[in-house]
């Protein structure tokens, strides 16, 4: 059975083999992750479609076309063939008194299959888990997974690393069971140092790595935005007191009822959808000499990943409830973490919201996601002294930034949109009653 590069979208024609999780000749099980491929938009895993022995024809780092064959799976079990062959030859030689050969053939076949099925091979892991294992210097094959189906979680890796550190200290015998992992893991940290030598700096002070396809694409798009749009940014600040009271009052009931936390993002999505209907230019895009106005709000929500920023899209966000928005965002975040995000999840979008506040950003200038004409940047919430009705009071404040394409949106429309979002957040009851 051939292993082919899956189609991930109409505009994607090639991919790079980022890494193979298995080696040629390894026994693989159906639905087991074989390799990770990287396109200029997404990274995804290729899984086995059948049990068998893996054969690899495309090496790591090789660029291949969509639909190209990168390996194959021999569905015949390596232990079963000799067993069948031995049985057939024994049957053919019945009179020769070879019944003794029959029991010998079966035991030989079974021991062969067992070592290949579990020779210290690691349990299922996510790409982020493999990265963490390399950073911690932990050999996945020596870690017992506690997740579903024996899946190795990040907590398993951290515990294994901590246990190994205890073994290194005298007088700590509690973690002696993890000691065998230390010798195998020790050479691993040295492996990343090898690529540094060809880069022309034997001291290892400089490491040169090829840019990933996603990072190349991000770089191209960011440069393109600066060259082909008239991007400006306007700022405002919003008092978060009322939405924080709303979350405190209804947050527990909301989570019990919908099995998801009530976050700020859903409230901002609703506020933006309401404001976009009042200021349609911010929800429009340029197509040639035409301006395309969208009578719907497909809102992209920026999600950070280890390979770069991913912006999955909430389709028809103006029709979604707060619970539906939070549940959809949580589903996207899990897909991003496990590299299961699909191209269909990130295509399109008429407006984008980016929350730099989760990383501690106080103020920034978000960059447009073409062909969209607007992107809202949320930032960190900080208590600041503000004047309210002639009195200096301390309030939780957040800076908001709206970057917009001045070719479509004029200053009045941009400022009006941002001011409307501010009003909705500072008086959320009005927004929730209208929606």
**Residues annotated catalytic, as ranges:** 406, 410
**Residue 109 vs residues 25, 79, 82: alpha-carbon distances, Å:** 17, 5, 7
Task: Assess contact for 28 and 54: CB atoms under 8 A.
Answer: yes
Collapsed DSSP state (helix, strand, coil) of residue 321: coil
Task: Assess contact for 355 and 60: CB atoms under 8 A.
Answer: no
Nearest-angstrom CA–CA distance, 380 and 359: 8
Nearest-angstrom CA–CA distance, 268 and 284: 19
Going by their DSSP bridges, the two strands 27-28 and 285-287 should be labelled as unpaired
**Residue 197 vs residues 52, 59, 209: alpha-carbon distances, Å:** 38, 21, 12
Determine whether 143 is exposed, middle or buried from the number of CB atoms within 10 Å of its CB (0-12, 13-18, 19+). buried
Taking alpha carbons only, the member of 5, 402, 42 closest to residue 218 is 42
Q: Can you point out the beta strands (E) in 257-323?
A: 285-287, 290-292, 299-301, 303-305, 308-310, 313-314
Q: Report, in angstroms and rounded to the nearest whole number, the Rg of the chain calculated over CA atoms.
A: 28
Q: What is the DSSP string of 171-184?
A: T--TTGGGTTHHHH
Maximum alpha-carbon separation in the chain: 109
Nearest-angstrom CA–CA distance, 387 and 71: 67
Helices (H) and strands (E) in the chain, counts: 12, 19
Task: Write the DSSP symbol of residue 156.
Answer: H
How many C-beta neighbours within 10 Å does residue 48 have?
A: 19
* Alpha helix segments (H runs only) across 93-202: 101-117, 127-136, 154-168, 181-185
- Residue 161 CA to chain centroid, in angstroms? 24
Nearest-angstrom CA–CA distance, 170 and 184: 20
Nearest-angstrom CA–CA distance, 165 and 160: 9
Helix, strand, coil tally for the chain in percent (to 5) = 45, 20, 35
């Amino acid at each position: 059975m051939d292993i082919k590069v899956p189609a991930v979208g109409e505009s994607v024609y090639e991919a790079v083999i980022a890494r193979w999780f298995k080696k040629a000749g390894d026994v693989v099980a159906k639905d087991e992750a074989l390799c990770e491929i990287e396109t200029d938009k997404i990274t995804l895993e290729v899984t086995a479609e059948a049990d068998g022995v893996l054969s690899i024809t495309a090496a790591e780092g090789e660029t291949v076309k969509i639909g190209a064959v990168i390996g194959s799976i021999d569905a015949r079990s390596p232990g079963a063939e000799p067993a069948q062959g031995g049985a057939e030859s024994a049957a053919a030689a019945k009179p020769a008194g070879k019944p003794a050969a029959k029991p010998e053939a079966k035991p030989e076949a079974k021991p062969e299959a067992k070592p290949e099925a579990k020779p210290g091979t690691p349990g299922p892991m996510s790409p982020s888990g493999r990265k963490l294992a390399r950073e911690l210097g932990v050999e996945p094959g020596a870690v017992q997974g506690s997740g579903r189906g024996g899946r190795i979680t990040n907590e398993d890796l951290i515990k294994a690393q901590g246990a190994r550190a205890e073994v290194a200290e005298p007088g700590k015998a509690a973690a002696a069971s993890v000691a065998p992992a230390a010798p195998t893991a020790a050479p691993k940290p040295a492996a990343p140092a090898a690529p540094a030598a060809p880069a022309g700096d034997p001291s290892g002070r400089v490491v040169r790595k090829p840019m990933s396809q996603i990072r190349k694409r991000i770089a191209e798009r960011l440069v393109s935005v600066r060259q082909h749009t008239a991007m400006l940014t306007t700022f405002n600040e919003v008092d978060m007191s009322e939405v924080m009271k709303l979350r405190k009052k209804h947050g527990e009931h909301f989570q019990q009822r919908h099995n998801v936390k009530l976050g700020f993002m859903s409230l901002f999505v609703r506020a933006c959808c309401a404001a976009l209907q009042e200021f349609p230019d911010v929800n429009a895009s340029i197509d040639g000499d035409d301006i395309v106005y969208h009578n719907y709000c497909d809102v992209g929500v920026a999600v950070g990943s280890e390979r770069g920023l991913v912006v999955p899209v909430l389709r028809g966000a103006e029709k979604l409830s707060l619970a539906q928005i939070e549940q959809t965002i949580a589903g996207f975040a899990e897909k991003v973490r496990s590299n299961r995000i699909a191209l269909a999840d990130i295509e399109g979008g008429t407006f984008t919201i980016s929350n730099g506040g989760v990383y501690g950003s106080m103020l920034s200038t978000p960059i447009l996601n073409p062909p969209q004409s607007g992107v809202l940047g949320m930032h960190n919430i900080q208590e600041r002294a503000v004047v309210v009705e002639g009195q200096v009071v301390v309030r939780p404040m957040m800076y908001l930034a709206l970057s917009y394409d001045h070719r479509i949106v004029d200053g009045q429309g941009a400022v009006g949109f941002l001011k409307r979002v501010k009003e909705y957040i500072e008086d959320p009851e009005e927004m929730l009653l209208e929606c």
